[in-house]
């Protein structure tokens, strides 16, 4: 069963948790009990088998054949290699390439599966309703969600992105999705305003009632949805098995994991994997210049009242990391009352402070650091020179924080860095990093080709021919206008 981080709903089944996306009164669903998984048995399994085993242990009310079908996405050709998440060695660390899916971002790992889980959840609940999926995106989630839900019967998906806050390639990827049930809106504001406005819609009694009258429900494709988070836990089990197969670790010896972090979903999945018995030592949370999390780990104060920076790693330009609430829930000893107080503070004052014991518990499981723009650029260049390997700016943030951690902590454990995007998604920034003087003035499309010709790496399929594909209409709205837009366009 699933409970709320704020203790404001009675336990729900997994189908209910996935169908609702988040707790309507505010708060996020978390598993009442985390299963212990005997990863030892996975040693010869393929990705889909591991996915089935891990996901089944959480989704006891969904039919087994649906899950069996769902995990086929990892082997039916949607991912561009036989292994959907290859682990490659770069210098002294492993890089887990999570971007071999159709949209070249790690979000595909979960968003290819979520539609199966969501439609099956509704069916299990016997809700013959249309689902309206609302998704706030800082760039990558939007396209991956559109691709996952495109033409899925009984669903409509609306993606909200901050106007001017996503790269031209990301924008182009979104508007060329096609499909009869996909809608895209540019919101005048930054990602946090976008995400907060969308979360408010989920809790708006007025709109929920209007929806119900039309036999519709809301759900979310953001990592606030348990169905989105769960498939992400799988690849950490996969990573550990790969590490052993490649003889980087002895059987049962812990590894460290570094995750470039934005909304805190990816690293939370690694944290859950650890709680489920996977041998993980330190979790390393890497932020860009929007370093709210790194500051939190130093001070115990989560403070969103600060300048917001647009960086070369836009998917991490986030001040309010939704899933941090789930982590704090665990770190506080599952104290829903305190979570409620802290998040009330956050809404009122833009910040909150946790008690010493909770902070201590946070620090025990996690290290947090950050990298500025210059460091990111240097890291991309240096990694290419030293190892002939190209990092995208998000993954470069992780690499830099990993190197800092290794140097200052003296912890020499084998470490895996989660690589969250193909460098081709951010080709202009990568080219600038490689040689600022030579590679300026390219448009996004020239940049793709240039990056491919210098490195000899192939442009991911999903990014080819984007320029010439017909684009769909984008509605421009203000954060305050989202409710009216939804009511007038969809709830009729």
Cβ 229 to ligand PLP shortest distance, Å: 9
What is the C-alpha separation between 95 and 134, in angstroms, rounded? 32
Cβ 72 to ligand PLP shortest distance, Å: 24
Binding-site member from 4, 103, 124, 261 for ligand PLP (CB under 6 A) = 261
Cβ 444 to ligand PLP shortest distance, Å: 16
Distance of CA 299 to the CA centre of its chain: 25
C-alpha distances (whole Å) from 19 to each of 121, 181, 217, 223, 429 are 6, 18, 8, 13, 38
Binding-site member from 420, 429, 444, 450 for ligand PLP (CB under 6 A) = 420
What is the C-alpha separation between 42 and 50, in angstroms, rounded? 7
**Alpha helix positions (H), 388-473:** 393-409, 427-434, 444-455
Cβ nearer to ligand PLP, comparing 14 with 419: 419
285 phi and psi angles, rounded to 5 deg: -95, 115
Cβ nearer to ligand PLP, comparing 55 with 211: 55
Q: How many residues of this chain bind ligand PLP (CB under 6 A)?
A: 16
Q: Which stretch, 75-83, 259-267, 401-409, 467-475, contacts ligand PLP (CB under 6 A)?
A: 259-267
Cβ 457 to ligand PLP shortest distance, Å: 17
C-alpha distances (whole Å) from 165 to each of 140, 184, 303 are 12, 14, 22
Q: Are 371 and 286 in contact, with CB atoms under 8 Å apart?
A: yes
Our finding on whether 263 is near ligand PLP (CB under 6 A) is yes
What is the C-alpha separation between 154 and 2, in angstroms, rounded? 25
Our finding on whether 260 is near ligand PLP (CB under 6 A) is yes
Cβ 385 to ligand PLP shortest distance, Å: 23
Q: Which stretch, 54-62, 73-81, 254-262, 462-470, contacts ligand PLP (CB under 6 A)?
A: 254-262
Q: Are 41 and 49 in contact, with CB atoms under 8 Å apart?
A: no
C-alpha distances (whole Å) from 443 to each of 257, 271, 446, 448, 450 are 35, 39, 5, 9, 10
What six digits make up the tokens of 356?
A: 């010493």
Cβ 420 to ligand PLP shortest distance, Å: 3
Report the site for ligand PLP in 121-150 (rule: CB under 6 A).
Answer: 140
Binding-site member from 161, 218, 235, 264 for ligand PLP (CB under 6 A) = 264
Cβ nearer to ligand PLP, comparing 201 with 316: 316
Sequence-distant (6+) residues with CB within 8 A of 126 are: none
Report the site for ligand PLP in 450-479 (rule: CB under 6 A).
Answer: none
Cβ nearer to ligand PLP, comparing 220 with 263: 263
DSSP annotation string for 88-141: EEETTEEEEE---STTSBTTHHHHTTHHHHHHHHHHHTT---EEEEEEE-SSHH
Our finding on whether 223 is near ligand PLP (CB under 6 A) is yes
What six digits make up the tokens of 305?
A: 């009242």
446 phi and psi angles, rounded to 5 deg: -65, -35
Which run of H or of E encompasses 159? strand 155-162
Q: Which stretch, 13-21, 84-92, 262-270, 463-471, contacts ligand PLP (CB under 6 A)?
A: 262-270
Our finding on whether 400 is near ligand PLP (CB under 6 A) is no
Binding-site member from 102, 265, 369, 460 for ligand PLP (CB under 6 A) = 265
Question: Residues 72, 107, 360, 458: which is the catalytic one?
Answer: 107
Among the listed residues 102, 52, 51, the one whose alpha carbon sits nearest the alpha carbon of residue 81? 102
In the block, tokens 């992400």 appear at 232
Cβ 451 to ligand PLP shortest distance, Å: 16
Burial class of 357 by CB neighbour count within 10 A (0 to 12, 13 to 18, 19+): exposed
Is 107 annotated in the active site?
yes
Going residue by residue from 82 to 121, which x/- string records binding to ligand PLP, judged by CB under 6 A?
Answer: -----------------------x-x--------------
Cβ 173 to ligand PLP shortest distance, Å: 12
Binding-site member from 100, 156, 326, 394 for ligand PLP (CB under 6 A) = 394
Residues that bind ligand PLP (CB under 6 A): 105, 107, 140, 223, 260-266, 315-316, 394, 420-421
Catalytic residues, which ones?
107
């Amino acid at each position: 069963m699933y409970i709320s981080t704020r203790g404001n709903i009675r336990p729900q089944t997994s189908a209910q948790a996935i169908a609702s996306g988040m707790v309507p009164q505010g708060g996020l669903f978390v598993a009442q009990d985390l299963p212990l998984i005997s990863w030892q048995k996975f040693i010869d399994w393929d990705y889909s088998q591991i996915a089935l085993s891990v996901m089944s242990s959480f989704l006891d009310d969904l039919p087994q054949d649906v899950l069996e079908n769902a995990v086929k996405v990892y082997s039916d050709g949607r991912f561009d290699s036989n292994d959907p998440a290859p682990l490659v060695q770069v210098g002294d660390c492993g890089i887990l390439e999570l971007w071999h899916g159709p949209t070249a971002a790690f979000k595909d790992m979960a968003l290819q599966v979520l539609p199966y889980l969501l439609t099956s959840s509704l069916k299990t609940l016997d809700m013959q309703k249309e689902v309206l999926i609302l998704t706030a995106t800082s760039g990558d989630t939007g396209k991956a969600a559109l691709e996952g839900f495109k033409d899925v019967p009984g669903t409509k998906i609306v993606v909200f992105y901050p106007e001017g806050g996503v790269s031209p390639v990301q924008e182009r990827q979104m508007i060329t999705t096609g499909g009869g049930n996909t809608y895209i809106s540019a919101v005048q504001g930054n990602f946090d305003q976008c995400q907060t406005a969308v979360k408010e819609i989920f809790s708006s009694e007025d709109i929920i009632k209007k929806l119900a009258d039309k036999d519709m429900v809301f759900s979310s494709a953001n990592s606030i949805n348990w169905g989105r988070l769960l498939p992400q836990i799988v690849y950490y089990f996969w990573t550990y098995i790969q590490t052993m197969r490649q003889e980087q670790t002895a059987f049962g010896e812990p590894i460290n994991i570094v995750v470039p972090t934005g909304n805190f979903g990816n690293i939370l999945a690694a944290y859950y994997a650890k709680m489920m018995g996977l041998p993980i030592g330190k979790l390393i949370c890497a932020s860009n210049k929007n370093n709210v999390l790194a500051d939190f780990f130093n001070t115990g104060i989560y403070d969103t009242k600060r300048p917001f920076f647009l960086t070369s790693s836009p998917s991490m330009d986030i001040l309010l990391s939704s899933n941090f609430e789930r982590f704090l829930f665990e770190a506080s000893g599952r104290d829903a009352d305190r979570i409620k107080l802290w998040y009330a503070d956050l809404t009122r004052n833009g910040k909150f402070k946790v008690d010493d014991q909770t902070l201590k518990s946070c620090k025990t499981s996690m290290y947090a650091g950050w990298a500025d723009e210059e460091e990111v650029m240097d890291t991309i260049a240096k990694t290419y020179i030293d190892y002939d390997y190209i990092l995208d700016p998000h993954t470069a943030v992780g690499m830099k924080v990993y190197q800092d951690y290794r140097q200052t902590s003296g912890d020499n454990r084998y470490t895996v860095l989660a690589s969250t995007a193909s460098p081709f998604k951010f080709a202009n920034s990568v080219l600038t990093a490689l040689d600022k003087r030579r590679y300026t003035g390219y448009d996004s499309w020239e940049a793709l080709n240039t990056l491919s010709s210098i490195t000899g790496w192939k442009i991911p399929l999903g990014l080819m021919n984007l320029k010439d594909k017909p684009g769909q209409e984008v509605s421009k709205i203000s954060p305050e206008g989202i409710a009216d837009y939804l009511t007038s366009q969809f709830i009729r």
